[in-house]
Structure 1
Amino acid sequence: MRTLAWSALAAFLIDQLSKYLVIHQMELWRIRAVDVLPPVLNFRYGENRGINFGLFSDAPDASRWVLIGLAVVICIAVLIWVRRHDLGLWPHVGAGLLIGGALANVLDRLIYGYVLDFLNMSCCGINNPFVFNIADVFIFGGAILLIFLAPDPKEKAKKGQ
């Protein structure tokens, strides 16, 4: 569980620090766009009031609290699941990344009323209109680690028979 806690803390702090540096220190909130390594990496200011890719962003403000509650419930469920199963090192890292990223986005919703996004990546003639943040990368990466590296409990049950 210590690995999970450290992974969650690292994901949370890295995301919040990146948002502070890019959005506030570089004043991306004001200038709106910075081409870092065009077209592969650009900073574009975004306020995500919905879920992934801005879906449901025009929903009423009450949806913000629903999304916060849902994120917290998912974090608790992942934590309970990890505590009940012997998963090993990398699934614990994955769970920590997922939880830390989700809680970083929850903090954004609590402070700003939306999630701050700033990363935009395009390639090979495809112009990607969407923005995301480091927490989103940690959530996705953590979920991938859990999906592909967590042992199958059915396999353990078969071996025990």
Structure 2
Amino acid sequence: MAIIALLLSAAAVVVDQIIKLLVTANLKPSSGFTVINGIFNIFYIKNKGAAFGILQNQRWFFITVTLAISILLIISLFKYQNHTVFSYIAVILIVGGGLGNLIDRIVYGYVIDYLSFSFFPPIFNFADCCVTVGTVFLIIHILFFSNLDSNAERVIRRK
């Protein structure tokens, strides 16, 4: 299952990079178009920071942190024994999204963002969505499933 998860992470990276290629090929920075009037726009920006534009121009910090987290999560695919569907999906999405943005940081020095919703001010991208949803799945796994096996073992030992 770990190899399949890595392949799915790679697929997320490919999807992310294809979308970004389409955005950069068809739009100039700081330009865009309306998809749903008053709600959703595609608007190309160069993001040199993190979410909400924080930590601007900290490229090497983000590269280092992304690599470290990705390596730890990939190792967990092979070493961690209590995976659930939530933990597999979490790793697939976090690694795929993280590496998608990592490629941007290494190649361009910034992340290509393009999704703009009127009800959510920051502009973001597919990779950001992957990391966010993956983090939610990881939290669900940690809160509700990571101790199931150890709790079951304790109950069995008491009997």
The answer (yes or no) to whether the contact 2:48–2:59 under 8 Å persists in 1 is yes
Tell me by how many angstroms 1:94 deviates.
2.1
Give the TM-score, by structure 1 length.
0.84
1:159 maps to which residue? 152
- Tell whether 2:3 aligns with 1:2: yes
- The structure with the larger Rg is 2
On the 8 A contact 2:82/2:149 being kept in 1, the answer is: no
**Aligned twin of 1:131:** 123
Residue 71 of structure 1, aligned match among 66, 71, 74:
66
5+ long unaligned stretches in structure 1: none
Alignment of 1:1-161 (within 5 A): 1-24=2-25, 26=26, 28-29=27-28, 32-57=31-56, 59=57, 63-83=58-78, 84-123=80-119, 128-149=120-141, 152-161=145-154
| Structure 1 stretches of at least 4 aligned residues deviating more than 4 Å after TM superposition | none
By relative contact order (CA 8 Å, sep 6+), the higher-ranking structure is 1
Percent same amino acid among aligned pairs? Answer: 28
Which string of whole-angstrom CA distances, capped at 9 and with x for unpartnered residues, describes residues 55-85 of structure 1? 121x4xxx21111011000111222233323
**Aligned equivalents of 1:31, 1:77: Cα separation in 2:** 35
Q: Is the 8 A contact 1:109 1:115 kept in 2?
A: yes
**How far, CA to CA, are the matches of 1:89 and 1:32 in structure 2?**
39
Please, what TM-score do these two structures have when normalized by structure 2?
0.85
Name the aligned partner's letter for residue 140 of structure 2.
F
Higher percent of residues as strand: 2
Q: Which deviates more, 144-153 or 32-41? A: 144-153
- Point out the more displaced range, 83-92 or 131-140: 83-92
Q: Identify unmatched segments of 5+ residues in structure 2.
A: 155-159
